[in-house]
Amino acid sequence: MNIPDGLLEPLARQIRFKKSLPFISTNILSVLDLGAGVDTPYLKFLKRNSVNVKEYIALEPRIKKGIRLKKKLPFKDSTFNLIVGFAFLEHVDYPADIMREAVRVLKPGGKIIFTAPSPRSKFLLEILSKVGLISGREISEHKRYFNKESLFMMLENIKDVKPSHKYFELGLNNLLIIEKS
């Protein structure tokens, strides 16, 4: 049996998604999903959890059709109530620029939720990918790993934000919540 994403990928995705629920309202007007995946699993997750979404825009760096993710987000200031990026920042060349752009297009009172692997996870992820439990392609595309300090450093010169951070999965993953005032 060939599982292209790896056997544990769907479970890992659901764990990351569930981490977002305490931080979001059940009535969200507009969502921007960075690195959404071609079948937008987070939108399906929100609907299963009775979250009312009026507008959902998904950006995926690897898709050939639709809106592609670039260094500058193609949206006006203060467009979205919620911006998410699950296991996304480690794949981009310019995470600080993306973070700055996410804050720019976030409405005041809105939230950004990012998850990203910590340096502690690198060895384990590489092993799990080699045995087919998680996607080898995904792990080979990791450009960096983050800790709380490196995530907060990217927010240093951004005004009107209140970041909070938690590690989860025994410190192997980061949960970064950014609120815009």
pLDDT for residue 15: 95
Long-range (24+ apart) CB contacts under 8 A made by 37-45 are 38/62, 38/63, 41/13, 41/17, 42/17, 42/84, 42/86, 45/14, 45/17
Sole residue written with tokens 């999965």: 169
pLDDT for residue 65: 45
The beta strands (E) that lie in 35-134 are given as: 52-59, 80-86, 106-117
pLDDT for residue 37: 73
pLDDT for residue 160: 95
* Residue type for position 178: I
Given phi > 0 = left and psi -120 to 50 = alpha, else beta, which region is 3? beta
Give SS3 for 80. Answer: strand
pLDDT for residue 176: 98
pLDDT for residue 31: 97
Q: What is the pLDDT along the chain (181 residues), one digit of tens a residue?
A: 344 567 888 899 999 999 999 999 888 889 999 988 767 899 999 999 999 999 999 987 655 444 556 678 999 999 999 999 999 999 988 999 999 999 999 999 999 999 999 999 999 999 999 999 999 988 999 999 999 999 999 999 999 999 999 999 999 999 999 999 9
Please enumerate in sequence order all residues whose Cβ is within 8 A of that of 101, keeping only pairs 6 or more positions apart, or say none: 71, 72, 73
Q: Which domains does the chain have, with CATH numbers?
A: 9-180 (3.40.50.150)
